[in-house]
Amino acid sequence: MKRYRLALLFIACCACGIVRGADQPQRITIDFAKPSGRLKPLNGVNHGPYYNGENAKLGRYHAEAGFAYTRLHDVHWPCPDCVDVSTIFPIFDADADDSKYYVFAKTDDYLAAILKNKSQIVYRLGEDIEPWTHYHNKPPADFHKWAKVCVNIIRHYNDGWDNGFNYKISYWEIWNEPEIAHMWTGTRQQYLELYEVASKAIQAHDPSLKIGGPAATSIHSELVRQFLAFCRDRKLPLDFFSFHAYSGDPKSLAADAITARKLLDEYGFKQTEVHLNEWRYLPTWQGLRPSDPREFKNVPEWFARSCRAEGAAFCADVLIRMQDTPVDVMNFYCADTSPWSMFSQFGIPSKVYYTFKAFHALLASHNRVACIGLPAEGPICAAACVSDEKQSAALLLSNFKGPSTHLVVALANLPWNGTVRVEVDQLDETHDLELTQQQTIDLKEPTLELELPTNSVLLVRLSK
């Protein structure tokens, strides 16, 4: 009779959803005795905090997020007033050696705001996107003169020319997405020739600088192999290779980085860095290039969605997943006040911003340790780090589009004795990286139990 009642109880629990295989906790182990190298600072962005809008005050947010790299492309678009070659040297027929024809003031202010936050600049030499007009995205009338102007821009910011600076900016990228008419109205061959002239001129000026391109629209662009073959055959400098990826699948970005490394090795560029310097959450391009403006009707909601918890979890997944790929530098698009940004037009941070802030907190520890037990193809990603002094550690978790999960985390071989203080900051639809859990655990049974909702990010901070 007792066995019968237990069976009935089990059946009732199953019917109520209390006992289900899907509800079994996911178990992982963080093994602090198994180092996994240093966490790569992949939290770069496009665009700095200096913005002309009355309501946009982004400096404090940029400082708190600690963006590792800031790439300069589409600055102040659609009304560019700095960075672009045409804004600094507006009269192309003028004497390129005479400093009075250069206008540096606005670009000086723009760069100063970035460097104040100790972010490394990736300076794109070229022009902003022009989808409808073609004032500046035509091939320069004189490639050698254009290259001389670029060298003088470098001299101003690195060598003090024309009351300039000694910023020691390393990365100089030649143009952006030259395979599309919005960016380059010339032929591919003309772009390759411009790259040859400019890269040689920059290298001759300062061989220590890192020169790169082509900022391809995709690793699968037809331009990529053509560009690599041209650089190989002409023995041109290529210190970093740049490409873009707008996707709704984090795994596709990881695959693109692996493909980039294979292609570079194939063409003999084994030391060339891999830069994914435009990326963001973009499941589809549908509606973003409409022939009829009415097709835009669903786009505002998509942009809003991409900046809510769904987009934030995607970004956390990418920042974690890309640690185990050959990528060297990444720049999210973007961090100003455009519709593509992690900030609103009024400078209000979205949930995507808080993902980058969480990653910056993880970087403070930076010594990666092994996370064991998560399926490689699953929706949950994790990265764990311990500090240099081994008195604190952190764990970053993301759940992109997976079911809500009860996570049991075993902390193996923690590098200190006694108890562990645990603080959990949560990011989801109702939390903006807010403290939701505090506890102290005994190292005799060092186990954490965490709830990871769908489309969420958790930053778990551990201290002695």
How far apart CA 402 and CA 424 sit, in angstroms, is 20
Q: What pLDDT was estimated at residue 451?
A: 96
- In this predicted model, what pLDDT tens digit does every residue of 325-356 receive, in sequence order? 999 999 999 999 988 999 998 899 999 999 99
Give residues with Cβ within 8 angstroms of 292, minimum separation 6: none
Mean pLDDT of 387-409: 96
289 pLDDT more than 70: no
Q: What pLDDT was estimated at residue 7?
A: 37
188 pLDDT more than 70: yes
Q: Which CATH class is domain 20-38+367-463?
A: mainly beta
- In this predicted model, what pLDDT tens digit does every residue of 175-187 receive, in sequence order? 999 999 999 999 9
Q: How confident is the model at residue 385 (pLDDT cuts 50, 70, 90)?
A: very high
204 pLDDT more than 90: yes
Q: What pLDDT was estimated at residue 291?
A: 61
User: Could you tell me if 107 and 83 are in contact, meaning their C-beta atoms sit under 8 angstroms apart?
Assistant: yes
- In this predicted model, what pLDDT tens digit does every residue of 44-90 receive, in sequence order? 999 999 876 655 689 999 999 999 999 999 999 888 999 999 999 99
Q: How confident is the model at residue 4 (pLDDT cuts 50, 70, 90)?
A: very low
Of 142-151, 203-212, 242-251, 277-286, the least confident: 277-286
How far apart CA 247 and CA 26 sit, in angstroms, is 27
Q: What pLDDT was estimated at residue 293?
A: 63
12 pLDDT more than 50: no
Q: What pLDDT was estimated at residue 445?
A: 75
Which sequence spans correspond to the domains of the chain? 20-38+367-463, 44-363
Q: How confident is the model at residue 303 (pLDDT cuts 50, 70, 90)?
A: confident
Give the CATH number of domain 44-363: 3.20.20.80
Residue 426 β-bridge partners = 434, 458
Q: Which residue has the tokens 């060092």?
A: 446
Q: What pLDDT was estimated at residue 286?
A: 65
Evaluate the CA torsion angle 271, 272, 277, 278 in order and state its sign: negative
Q: How confident is the model at residue 20 (pLDDT cuts 50, 70, 90)?
A: very low
Farthest-apart Cα atoms in the chain, separation: 101
